[in-house]
Amino acid sequence: MDSSNLSELEQLVRRQLELVGEDPSRDGLLRTPLRVAKSLEYLTSGYKSDLKKVLNNALFDSKSEDMVLVKDIDFFSLCEHHMLPFFGKCHIGYLPKGKVIGISKLPRIVEVYARRLQVQERMTHEIATTVQELIGCDGVGVVTEGQHLCMMMRGVEKQNSYTMCSSLLGRFRDDARTRGEFLNLIHHRRS
């Protein structure tokens, strides 16, 4: 975000404080508009991310066709309906077809899509299709588990509920054994 946009966002936050009945010039709120503007800039940085730069040529030749799984990838995002946080875990599995991706790139892909105004369902699908396109693999499975502050703090106020979404592509969708192996592995807990 350039400095003029950051400054404009800071002014909008200042006005929001006034509209909710606060005095943005009081001691505790003096720097709040700038902090909120910078926070929003960071929390929506995924819009400016270039997936090719994120990947950084970390695709490697591999003869393996066995499932690769990275689970419990922490994420946080902002709900596009209320701009309140939702957060949780993402699990990604794929079946290589001549190439594997550096495993640190999978959490980075999650960050690209989580750091946008989102709904969990779309984010899950975007992660899956991106992994499929970048790697050219035989299949991808993505499952996300999220807790939404818009459900916890307002509306129905259910603090213990969570949402699960899945996106299954290629053999993860078409082959029941592959899908079953993936789902079984993501429920496995370390001892």
* 60 phi, psi to nearest 5 deg: -125, 140
Sequence-ordered alpha helix ranges (H) in 44-119: 51-55, 105-114
> String of b and e for 73-91 (b: at least 16 CB within 10 Å)?
bebebbbeeeeebbebbbb
Residue 11 identity (one-letter amino acid): Q
Active site (catalytic) residues: 79-82, 120, 148, 150
The SS3 call for residue 69 is strand
Instruction: Give the relative orientation of helices 120-135 and 105-114 as an angle to the nearest 10 degrees.
Output: 140
